[in-house]
Amino acid sequence: MSNLTTELLFRNDAYLREAPAMVLAHTPEGGIVLDRAIFFPTGGGQPGDSGRLVWTGGEIDIATSVKGEGGAVVLVPAEPTAMPPVGAQVTQHLDWDRRHRHMRIHTGLHLLSVVIPLPVTGGSIGAEKGRLDFDMPEAPEDRDRIEADLNALIEADLPVSEDWIIDAELAANPGLVKTMSVAPPTGQGRVRLVRIGTADNQVDLQPCGGTHVARTGEIGRLRLGKIEKKGKQNRRVSILFD
């Protein structure tokens, strides 16, 4: 199992909703490994994708996707049922509405880290809302301004793109890393950066392996949710679709 690698189609095109693939293996736990995947596996606070696989003679609902050994993406069936045999050609169908909501919330959280320029200690992405935990001893007095600034960045319809740097460049630029609790994925030789804005008019640049919208305008208006105290230094700030 450890030498199986899945080509990450979502990495090249986060908007891909269906694609063909071949079944490489079944895991002992009942998961399915494909040679190429549009399903994002759980990681970095972003949930794994759901959807279904269709092949000649059958189909199966996928509840979530997780990282397997090596570079494998493991699709987890929603319930025990007949699986596509190893070697079978399948068509992947993504639950696009759910994934797109994750993309909108994820990019929104990157913008939240811009309007609240404090170290991030944790985070979580959902289909309805998301949150970041900040190293924030005192609650902000100007939550209306934070919400207005957040929506101003969304309405500016800034481009969202990616860049790659080698591990050594990241090590030389520790200020790129906003998350204190989750180290960016290194050890592969290079690290993916997500940029909001353009290289000469950049709003944000940080390591991230998740899926994002192509422009901030696609997020839609967000509301600031509760600001909760989580320990002496930490406060949890939530965003919700308006």
Question: Which of 13-27, 119-133, 170-184 has the least mean pLDDT?
Answer: 170-184
Q: Say how far residue 204 (Cα) sits from the centre of its chain.
A: 16
Question: pTM of the entire structure?
Answer: 0.91
- 99-241 placed in CATH 3.30.980.10: yes
Domain ranges for the chain, please list them.
7-94, 99-241
Residue 200: predicted pLDDT? 82
Give the CATH number of domain 7-94; options: 1.10.10.10, 3.40.50.2300, 2.40.30.130, 3.40.190.10. 2.40.30.130
- 71-112 residue pLDDT tens: 899 999 999 999 999 999 999 999 999 999 999 999 999 999
- 131-173 residue pLDDT tens: 999 999 888 889 999 999 999 999 999 999 998 777 666 666 6
- 209-229 residue pLDDT tens: 999 999 999 999 999 998 999
Classify residue 88 by burial, with Cβ atoms within 10 Å: 0-12, 13-18, 19+.
middle
More confident residue, 2 or 101: 101
More confident residue, 55 or 185: 55
Of the candidates 83, 142, 80, 130, the one whose C-alpha atom is nearest the C-alpha of residue 103 is 130
Residue 176: predicted pLDDT? 61
Question: How far apart, in whole angstroms, are the C-alpha atoms of residue 190 and residue 10?
Answer: 18
CB under 8 Å to 128, separation ≥6 — which residues? 101, 240, 241
